[in-house]
Structure 1
Amino acid sequence: MNQITPPPKVEIIPSNAPFSEAQRSWLNGFFAGLLSDATPLSAEHGAEVMQDAAGDGDDGEAPWHDQTMPIADRMKLAEGRPLRRRMMAAMAQQDCGQCGYDCHNYSEAIANKSEARLNLCVPGGKETARMLKSLYEEIDKTPAAPSSAPAAAPAAVTTKVASEPGRSRDNPANAKFLSRRLLNGKGSEKETWHIEFDLSGCDLDYVVGDSFGIFARNDIGLVDQIIALLGASHTTEVRGKTLREVLRDDVSLSPAPDSLFELISYLTGSALREKARALAQGEDPDGDAATLDVMAVLQKFSRVRPHPEAFVEALEPLQPRLYSISSSHNATPGRLSLTVDCVRYVVNKRRRLGLASTFLAERINPGDEVKVYVQKAHGFALPQDPKTPIIMVGPGTGIAPFRAFLLDRRATGAPGKNWLFFGHQRSDCDFFYADELNAMKTSGLLTRLSLAWSRDGEKKFYVQDRMREVGREVWTWLAEGAHVYICGDAKRMAKDVERALVDIVAQFGARTTDEAVSFVGELKKKGRFQQDVY
């Protein structure tokens, strides 16, 4: 077994710096990793390094690149940085690729004026779009800062040219929907589907770790209710189509954009005008702004009936949705599968539907064609050496890419060990792909399978709890060179799993907390700790 030497503890960020303890530990760990191959530096010299990085802004591993950090905190950390870095801080920091870029390249493209669309960050939502709009207004007022990077190009274009259908969100292909299969058993509180597509007709391929973009259509029932609230006809012509077709296929109906509130403010007066203006500025006069989709806005301002053409122009384009691919092209060429949680919830006694999830679950039929594209992964892939062991942590639908990893390793004969941590609510109805996984374990492909069920006992028990239980073995795998992967919820699960990993490194690697944070930072830097979070 290879021995891992603890990195030296480097205290670069002083205790009185304007950071939380977690942020200070992260920064210390980052700079310790950055300087680990150099002569040890004093804290004063380290502070100079930090100052240089702050002035240049092209430091790669920026401290605001944390998907769990609120946007206000990210913007605080980016104060004084070049405009393109503050734009990056405004984004959701998931590098999910839904915008067609990663966060770094999207910010570069906006700052370079090669991308005018400021609302492409789906996870960041309205708060990111508002911040980007505010920052964009500074471009002509701010002297251009030198950039070490060339003009940004969409990250979707990495191995194939953008002109090939299905290789970017701007040029989708048509794939055939094959089937859906419910993964939950009776008694589950969830609704999760295994979805299959036929790619043979569009000549698309992919590698495990990639994501699949779906151009879903809005629920026709919701569309018709909105048309009724407008007092318009289904057949009214807008943009060369019927109003019904445009609302179904082309524009987003949730959440309500600021431009819709602005339009309404022009069409009404007095208190209603002030209320609409406040909502357009991101204020929340009635405490319900977070629940306002397009239909709810029309109900809230029921006396206002915008002209259909003006109404459509005030809406944002319908964005594609990305899902982690849960199959392997090497195992099943020409077929692709997804693992999709169906989103349904009630707000003010009105049922709301997740756009793409319910589209896949109930609004398309076998044989229907859907506009799709493959989004290449950003730093989320199997190790180049097939002998490298891997540890995969994917509760719920987070299992998707790891099912793909396992199928791919079996198809290619990769000899590396495989350890999967999977969890959900109940073992008897929420154990996705149970037969497959148990067969993989029996065959030896799946070296270890560690399960965690949060609702089976009196106390909730999660994958990070299971990791701590077997922490010594996790450390042994790390010492042997294992790569660690996380897929799933960005705001809680991913952070909790990373914290568990830090605790395991500290306990079984005989390190202080700061040294353990630095060690995990080094894993990230070397590509041995990768995340696909949403």
Structure 2
Amino acid sequence: MNQITPPPKIEIIPSSAPFSEAQRSWLNGFFAGLLSDAPTPLSAEQGAAVMQGADADDGEAPWHDQTIPIAERMKLAEGRPLRRRMMAAMAQQDCGQCGYNCHDYSEAISSKAEGRLNLCVPGGKETARMLKSLYEEIDKVPAAASTPSTTPTAPAPVAEPGRSRDNPAPATFVSRRLLNKGGSEKETWHIEFDLSGCGLDYEVGDSFGIFAKNELGHVDQIIALLGASHTTQVRGRTLREVLTDEVSLAPAPDSLFELISFITGGAQREKARALAQGDDPDGDAATLDVMAVLQKFSGVRPHPEAFVEALEPLQPRLYSISSSHNATPGKLSLTVDCVRYVIGKRKRLGLASTFLAERVQPGDEVKVYVQKAHGFGLPQDSKIPIIMIGPGTGIAPFRAFLLDRRATGSVGRNWLFFGHQRSSCDFFYSDELNAMKTSGLLTRLSLAWSRDGDKKFYVQDRMREVGRELWSWLAEGAHVYVCGDAKRMAKDVERALVDIVAQHGARSTDEAVSFIGELKKKGRFQQDVY
């Protein structure tokens, strides 16, 4: 019998190329299958280029826009590397609540440096579900194309106390003051903290992370639905303590539905399984927080320990800082809308907003941290004029900007667009702003009240009215800032800016869009939207 000689092993990727043996083997096999003729071995530099191409994209992130729904973002990211699709699943706010920005969080997950898939607070359940689905692809992606680098990720250094969500510091709650007057439909508070004890400072544009506690009455109702005692020991603490400050009682996680499906049967099991998979059998999934789930499956009583394990960790909440460290060292203020609403017959409460509005008391210590801003801050040159657009609580960072410019003696002109529902009861910081206008610090103050007339009138409408002057400021180098609602206001404001540039800058619509895009690239158009 003639001995069959095996074909020679094709070495397209040389041993000098910067890959592991497994990666080199995979790439050799991949290219051997594509090429029928004997290949020319690649140099180390060529191999590196191939490796980069396996995970490369064009460097752009068209989905990085808070106003685009997740389904559209994922479509924009189709065909991109896994880490880029993970980025598209984020909420696109670069808010820092996860401890990263959107790009870095996706990089950390895809490289397995970060295993927590539920840190994106604004993205909520839809982001967590998408990340979970994408995470399952990691082991299916060949090692050579799974991450942009084969170098192990070094553990991040532990930040100083109060500089990250993972190492908060204690700050003292000082006071709260209602900003609305009688007749308002809103409840907005000016909140003061003393930072002198923890030594924190900050820059205008930064955000403040608050670790709030769940409302005690809500906690006790959940314990009653479990049929448990509040003194039951869980994780070395009482059940009441754990439910108060360790776990989220807001939208129910899929893991809670999974737990219920394991300990029940029949129609209830099928319903719990469907909810765990993101289906909505009864049309009420969007309203199901932890208490509503226990009420929906009223005959099911999980063991307290298993119940706690099925819940998500309590996440911090971030608020734009509305004060200046240069103006009031050691002091910090926030401008907070209190969230209260009713579903069915039950009142729901915003976790941190009601904590700050009623539960925390003067002198209490609260776990906090400063989240540095990502591309949102005053221009380095204090002579540059700024245009600030911040209706409602969006005024927070712009109050800080104005206080800081006054404290540092900045000479740049300042134009504020502020709006809300009614001038008589919703004009936040009216005395301060009018005084700034009188002193000349606030060059222009343009107001818009949506409920004062027969027709709703918003900040973007006011912008169009004064479009010629606004274009003049832009032409003279002004920086533009927008703070507030991402889905409606921010989109409408940007559209108004495009129209103003087109009309008063003698440009086509496409040219005006490009002009605004250039402002963003140069850091002259910055947003803090949520």
2:291 to 291, 295, 310: 295
Which string of whole-angstrom CA distances, capped at 9 and with x for unpartnered residues, describes residues 393-412 of structure 1? 00000000000000000000
Look up the match of 2:319: 323
Question: Is the contact between residue 422 and residue 450 of structure 1 (CA under 8 Å) also seen in structure 2?
Answer: yes
| TM-fit CA distance, 1:221 | 0.5
Determine the C-alpha separation between the residues in 1 that align with 2:444 and 2:151: 44
Structure 2 unaligned spans of 5+: 1-51
Normalised by the length of structure 1, the TM-score is 0.87
Change (3 A) 1:153 1:298: farther
Which string of whole-angstrom CA distances, capped at 9 and with x for unpartnered residues, describes residues 110-146 of structure 1? 0111110000001110000000000001111112345
Question: Is the contact between residue 196 and residue 336 of structure 1 (CA under 8 Å) also seen in structure 2?
Answer: yes
| TM-fit CA distance, 1:149 | 11
Question: Is the contact between residue 54 and residue 81 of structure 1 (CA under 8 Å) also seen in structure 2?
Answer: no
1:65 paired to 2:61? no
Letter in 2 for 1:288: D
Determine the C-alpha separation between the residues in 2 that align with 1:223 and 1:452: 41
Q: Secondary structure at the match of 2:159?
A: coil
Determine the C-alpha separation between the residues in 2 that align with 1:424 and 1:151: 50
Change (3 A) 1:327 1:150: farther
Q: Secondary structure at the match of 1:252?
A: coil
% same residue: 85
Question: Is the contact between residue 449 and residue 458 of structure 2 (CA under 8 Å) also seen in structure 1?
Answer: yes
Question: Is the contact between residue 55 and residue 148 of structure 2 (CA under 8 Å) also seen in structure 1?
Answer: no
Letter in 2 for 1:529: F
Question: Is the contact between residue 110 and residue 147 of structure 2 (CA under 8 Å) also seen in structure 1?
Answer: no
Q: Secondary structure at the match of 2:318?
A: strand
Look up the match of 1:86: 85
Q: Which of 1 and 2 has greater Rg?
A: 2
Which string of whole-angstrom CA distances, capped at 9 and with x for unpartnered residues, describes residues 347-386 of structure 1? 0110000000000000011000000000000000000100
Question: Is the contact between residue 256 and residue 311 of structure 2 (CA under 8 Å) also seen in structure 1?
Answer: yes
Runs of 4+ with >6 A deviation: 52-55, 148-154
Letter in 2 for 1:80: G
1:403 paired to 2:399? yes
1:528 paired to 2:524? yes
| TM-fit CA distance, 1:56 | 2.2
Question: Is the contact between residue 460 and residue 493 of structure 2 (CA under 8 Å) also seen in structure 1?
Answer: yes
Letter in 1 for 2:136: E
Look up the match of 1:207: 203
Change (3 A) 1:391 1:150: farther
Look up the match of 1:127: 126
Letter in 2 for 1:57: D
Look up the match of 1:56: 56
Q: Secondary structure at the match of 1:492?
A: helix
1:418 paired to 2:405? no
Question: Is the contact between residue 325 and residue 336 of structure 1 (CA under 8 Å) also seen in structure 2?
Answer: yes
Question: Is the contact between residue 199 and residue 334 of structure 1 (CA under 8 Å) also seen in structure 2?
Answer: yes
Which string of whole-angstrom CA distances, capped at 9 and with x for unpartnered residues, describes residues 155-176 of structure 1? xx9xxx6431000000000000
Question: Is the contact between residue 121 and residue 129 of structure 1 (CA under 8 Å) also seen in structure 2?
Answer: yes
1:242 paired to 2:243? no
Stretch moving more, 94-103 or 167-176: 94-103
Determine the C-alpha separation between the residues in 2 that align with 1:406 and 1:368: 29
1:258 paired to 2:254? yes
Superposition pairs of residues 36-435 of structure 1, within 5 angstroms: 56-57=56-57, 59=59, 61-143=60-142, 144-145=145-146, 147=148, 162-435=158-431
Determine the C-alpha separation between the residues in 1 that align with 2:277 and 2:509: 42
Determine the C-alpha separation between the residues in 1 that align with 2:213 and 2:57: 40
Question: Is the contact between residue 58 and residue 148 of structure 1 (CA under 8 Å) also seen in structure 2?
Answer: no
Stretch moving more, 119-128 or 141-150: 141-150
Determine the C-alpha separation between the residues in 2 that align with 1:349 and 1:145: 49
Q: CA RMSD in A?
A: 1.6
Determine the C-alpha separation between the residues in 2 that align with 1:151 and 1:215: 32
Question: Is the contact between residue 108 and residue 151 of structure 1 (CA under 8 Å) also seen in structure 2?
Answer: no
Which string of whole-angstrom CA distances, capped at 9 and with x for unpartnered residues, describes residues 505-533 of structure 1? 11111111111111100000000000001
Structure 1 unaligned spans of 5+: 1-51
Letter in 2 for 1:381: G
Determine the C-alpha separation between the residues in 2 that align with 1:321 and 1:150: 34
Determine the C-alpha separation between the residues in 1 that align with 2:158 and 2:264: 45
Q: Secondary structure at the match of 1:391?
A: strand
Change (3 A) 1:153 1:442: farther
| TM-fit CA distance, 1:153 | 8.9
Change (3 A) 1:53 1:483: farther
Question: Is the contact between residue 501 and residue 507 of structure 2 (CA under 8 Å) also seen in structure 1?
Answer: yes
| TM-fit CA distance, 1:70 | 1.0
Determine the C-alpha separation between the residues in 1 that align with 2:503 and 2:416: 22
Determine the C-alpha separation between the residues in 2 that align with 1:383 and 1:137: 43
Look up the match of 2:9: none
Determine the C-alpha separation between the residues in 2 that align with 1:447 and 1:142: 56
Could you say which structure has the greater relative contact order, defined with CA pairs below 8 angstroms and 6 or more residues apart?
A: 1
Q: Secondary structure at the match of 2:358?
A: helix
Determine the C-alpha separation between the residues in 2 that align with 1:83 and 1:515: 34
Q: Secondary structure at the match of 1:408?
A: helix
1:492 paired to 2:488? yes
| TM-fit CA distance, 1:63 | 1.0
Question: Is the contact between residue 108 and residue 152 of structure 1 (CA under 8 Å) also seen in structure 2?
Answer: no
Determine the C-alpha separation between the residues in 2 that align with 1:362 and 1:453: 28
Q: Secondary structure at the match of 2:487?
A: coil
Change (3 A) 1:446 1:495: same
Look up the match of 2:31: none
Q: Secondary structure at the match of 2:220?
A: helix
Q: Secondary structure at the match of 1:352?
A: strand
| TM-fit CA distance, 1:107 | 0.4
Determine the C-alpha separation between the residues in 1 that align with 2:431 and 2:149: 50
Superposition pairs of residues 455-470 of structure 1, within 5 angstroms: 455-470=451-466
Change (3 A) 1:54 1:246: same
Which string of whole-angstrom CA distances, capped at 9 and with x for unpartnered residues, describes residues 211-259 of structure 1? 0000000000000000000000000000000000000010000100000
Determine the C-alpha separation between the residues in 2 that align with 1:391 and 1:462: 16
Determine the C-alpha separation between the residues in 2 that align with 1:336 and 1:165: 17
Determine the C-alpha separation between the residues in 2 that align with 1:152 and 1:485: 35
Determine the C-alpha separation between the residues in 1 that align with 2:431 and 2:161: 36
Stretch moving more, 259-268 or 139-148: 139-148
Determine the C-alpha separation between the residues in 1 that align with 2:205 and 2:408: 15
Look up the match of 1:10: none
Question: Is the contact between residue 66 and residue 487 of structure 2 (CA under 8 Å) also seen in structure 1?
Answer: yes
Which string of whole-angstrom CA distances, capped at 9 and with x for unpartnered residues, describes residues 250-301 of structure 1? 0000100000000000111111111000000111000000000000000000
Determine the C-alpha separation between the residues in 1 that align with 2:287 and 2:435: 44
Question: Is the contact between residue 55 and residue 147 of structure 2 (CA under 8 Å) also seen in structure 1?
Answer: no
Determine the C-alpha separation between the residues in 1 that align with 2:369 and 2:153: 20
| TM-fit CA distance, 1:90 | 0.6
Determine the C-alpha separation between the residues in 1 that align with 2:485 and 2:58: 28
Letter in 1 for 2:70: I
| TM-fit CA distance, 1:148 | 7.5
Question: Is the contact between residue 185 and residue 430 of structure 1 (CA under 8 Å) also seen in structure 2?
Answer: yes
